[in-house]
Amino acid sequence: MIANTPKPPYYCVVFTSLVSNNISGYGEMAQQMLELAAIQPGYLGIESAREKVGITVSYWKDLESIKNWKANSKHLVAQKYGKEKWYSDFSVRIAKVEHDYSKNN
């Protein structure tokens, strides 16, 4: 599903990952993080795709909202497991969205 974002400007966090061979508990935690992110102040939406490379883009009102999400105690636990066992590699990029085009505009 394509996120229904507001008129720019807003921010996005692009999380690109390669999963390791040890993904025990990964699916459950990923679902919990989706649900938790959705109730965070400043959250605007999310898009995700996974083949060999996973790409998840979350959208946020401002940089403060992103900072608060990164520091969320439950999210910190997920980050720890990701670094220690679930991801063989990952990258996080934050960008300001200044223009937004879709099929309907």
For 16-61, write each residue's pLDDT tens digit: 999 999 889 999 999 999 999 999 999 999 999 988 899 999 999 9
In tens, the pLDDT along 70-84 reads 999 999 999 999 999
| The token pair that represents 9 in the structure block | 């400007």
pLDDT of residue 103: 74
* 21: containing domain: 10-97
CB neighbourhood size of 101 (10 A): 6
Task: Tell whether 105 is covered by a domain.
Answer: no
Task: Tell whether 102 is covered by a domain.
Answer: no
What CATH number is associated with residue 18? 3.30.70.100
- DSSP helix/strand/coil, 72: coil
Task: Tell whether 31 is covered by a domain.
Answer: yes
Residue type, 74: K
Task: Tell whether 103 is covered by a domain.
Answer: no
Task: Tell whether 5 is covered by a domain.
Answer: no
* Total domains in the fold of the chain: 1
End-to-end CA distance of the chain: 18
Q: Please indicate whether residue 57 or residue 1 has the higher confidence score (pLDDT).
A: 57
Answering whether pTM is above 0.85, one says yes
Task: Tell whether 39 is covered by a domain.
Answer: yes
